[in-house]
Amino acid sequence: MTTDAWRADGHSVGLVPTLGSLHAGHEALFRRAREGCSRLAVTVFVNPLQFGPSEDFAHYPRPFEQDLAVCERLRADAVWAPPIEEVYPPGVELPSPDAGLVGEAFEGASRPGHFLGVLKVVHRLFDVSGPCTAYFGQKDAQQLFLIRRMVDELHLPVELVSCPTVREAEGLAVSTRNEYLSPEEREQAGCLFLALTEAAELARGGERDARVLVAAMAREIGGTDLARLDYAAVVDEATFSAVDTIEAPARAIVAARFPSARLIDNLLLPEPAPEPAPEPAPEPA
């Protein structure tokens, strides 16, 4: 195995799992991995287990030659694009880590079984790679939360690095599924980031009632012609459970369906801005 040979030579292994169709969000992970590790391995695998029966597995873009060119440009040392039977060898029962209740909320509620598929493939990729540092995007915050919990609970020899969401100039999170959008939908897709920004502004202004933030986000997305709100919530950063009152670091999360694609996004909420210091009393004349 390539990664074993690297470690034997004293290299540190950076791993970036992807579904391929590589874009600026993936590239940011590759760059982080290149900075943090002396070897970079990218996996490209459209994992059937994380797609629901009515989802886009068959249509998910697979521009493999283009992906290889991106990996080469960003100096990946290895690209693993396995056939399905290499990931899931017939007759071999692989571990199926539990996604628990968090795995059934939000993305899990809209996409039943999704996180079981994600954890199964990520566990398998970690197992094949061996000890490594693995890079994931905050764009998929719930996924990252569940992977972190799996690594902790199963004591996997993997260090996780969480990387900020890469956005288009107008704020839309870069995503493979943005490609599905018509020009009109794409313009309106900005409502997700607008909603999150409104929630962040409210939090910065001192609003601690999460329901106020949720209502503002729902109004923004619900008022957008082509968007249908799937969920808007504020979750505790440590538990990924919805909160009514913000008392600890919290994240606003949203999902919306457009006619051609379902999009998700999230933003860590800022602490309230400090009260401005009182004006100093004027010096006596």
Query: Does 59 qualify as catalytic in the annotation?
Result: no
Q: Does 163 bind ligand AMP (CB under 6 A)?
A: yes
Query: Is residue 58 helix, strand or coil?
Result: coil
Stretch that binds ligand AMP, among 56-64, 125-133, 160-168, 247-255 (CB under 6 A): 160-168
The C-alpha angle 95, 264, 102, rounded to 5 degrees, equals 40
Q: Does 140 bind ligand AMP (CB under 6 A)?
A: yes
Give CA–CA dist 276/274, Å, rounded: 6
Report the residue number, 136 or 180, with the smaller CB distance to ligand AMP.
136
| Candidate residues 6, 15, 25, 145; the one interacting with ligand AMP per rule CB under 6 A | 25
For 249, residues 6+ apart whose C-beta sits below 8 A from its C-beta are: 236, 237, 238, 268, 269
Q: Does 18 bind ligand AMP (CB under 6 A)?
A: yes
Q: Does 39 bind ligand AMP (CB under 6 A)?
A: no
Q: Does 28 bind ligand AMP (CB under 6 A)?
A: yes
In this structure, are residues 3 and 130 in contact, taking their beta carbons and an 8 Å threshold?
Answer: yes
Q: Does 19 bind ligand AMP (CB under 6 A)?
A: yes
11, 23, 26, 59: which is the annotated catalytic residue?
A: 26
- In the chain, the amino acid numbered 14 is G
| Candidate residues 14, 97, 108, 137; the one interacting with ligand AMP per rule CB under 6 A | 137
For 107, residues 6+ apart whose C-beta sits below 8 A from its C-beta are: 114, 115, 142, 143, 255, 264
Report the residue number, 10 or 83, with the smaller CB distance to ligand AMP.
83
Question: What is the per-residue burial (b if ≥16 Cβ within 10 Å, else e) of 123-161?
Answer: bbbbebbeebbbbbbbbbbbbbbbbebbbeeeebebeeb
Q: Does 26 bind ligand AMP (CB under 6 A)?
A: yes
The minimum distance between CB 97 and ligand AMP, in angstroms, equals 17
Q: Which residue, chain included where needed, has tokens 């994240």?
A: 251
Q: List residues near ligand AMP by CB under 6 A.
A: 18-19, 25-26, 28-29, 136-137, 139-140, 163, 165-166, 173-176
State the catalytic residues: 26
